[in-house]
Amino acid sequence: MWKKHSGFKKPKGKSKSLTIWRYMDFTKFVSLLETKSLFFSRVDMLLDPFEGSVTEMNLKARNAFFNYVRRSGLPEEAMIQLRIDEPDLSKKWRKSVFVNCWGINKHESAAMWKLYLKSNEGIAIKSSYKNLKESFRDNLKDEVYIGEVKYIDYSSDFVSERGFFIPFLCKRKSFEHERELRAVVWNVDIAKAVDVGREPKEKGMYIKVDLDTLIDKICVAPGVPEWFGELVKSIVQRYGLEKEVVTSQLDRRPLF
């Protein structure tokens, strides 16, 4: 179920009316309907290598701390071990954290259609921050945290290390156009396995959701033939979802 956490920033605006979107290929949409689950990707499997990383300012602060500890008389062997363990732990944590990403936007995004679809045969789920939280209500097995991603400069900004999840809620400013809302799950069993040197087999996790609560509307990708829209409607009905399937606003004709 969704769980409140001080490290996760609630997006600005009313949670019920705060619109979010998730874009996906048709096959992933069918998988969502079949499993009644959202797929959470393992952080270290994502394309951005900075996921879960600290910044240059964090490293400078660590060096200052090590110098302070050295002056306090800590044995050199312990200092060396501290320097080895610190970055290694950050890399390990990436293998036990799983995320599911949404875009905060009142309207559908032409850029996101191009970014997340391998072909033009895809859909976008329209939901809200409130509905996303409540869709995990009946899932008592998994603890899900939800927060807005902060976009930072990894050469000049500092990421607080007081909270375990904070580095996983930061991305480079190059991705600022995504306006990402991120649902996060930490798998304790995988964390323990990674800690003893085992490489996890799971590249992702399926987390159960209530699709009726989650989905507001289903939007068909722009530029698709009419038969594809009818196919999406047919699949939605087959799985017992009473949700409206709409065409993309990007397919509207200009007024002149």
Q: Give 255: exposed, middle or buried? Use CB within 10 Å, 0-12, 13-18, 19+.
A: exposed
Q: What is the pLDDT of residues 95-123, one digit of tens each?
A: 999 999 999 999 999 999 998 888 889 99
Q: Which of 52-66, 102-116, 187-201 has the lowest mean pLDDT?
A: 52-66
Question: Among candidates 87, 89, 128, 95, which has minimal Cα distance to 213?
Answer: 128
CB 38 within 8 A of CB 100: yes
Mean pLDDT computed over 7-34? 89
Q: Are strands 37-42 and 204-208 parallel, antiparallel or unpaired?
A: antiparallel
Q: How far apart are CA 95 and CA 165, in angstroms?
A: 13
Q: What residues pair up with 184 in beta bridges, in sequence order?
A: 99, 145
> What dihedral do alpha carbons 186, 187, 193, 197 form, nearest 10°?
-30
Q: Are strands 97-104 and 150-152 parallel, antiparallel or unpaired?
A: unpaired
Mean pLDDT computed over 159-165? 83
Residue 80 has pLDDT above 70, yes or no: no
Structure tokens at 232: 């999406």
Phi, psi of 196 (to 5 degrees): -100, 10
3-state secondary structure 23-74: EEEHHHHHHHHHHCEEEEEEHHHCCCCCCCCCCHHHHHHHHHHHHHHHHCCC
Q: What is the pLDDT of residues 203-245, one digit of tens each?
A: 999 999 999 999 999 999 999 999 999 999 999 999 999 999 9
CB 106 within 8 A of CB 10: no
- What pLDDT score was predicted for residue 150? 95
Q: How far apart are CA 111 and CA 159, in angstroms?
A: 28
Q: Are strands 170-172 and 122-128 parallel, antiparallel or unpaired?
A: unpaired
Q: Report pTM.
A: 0.88
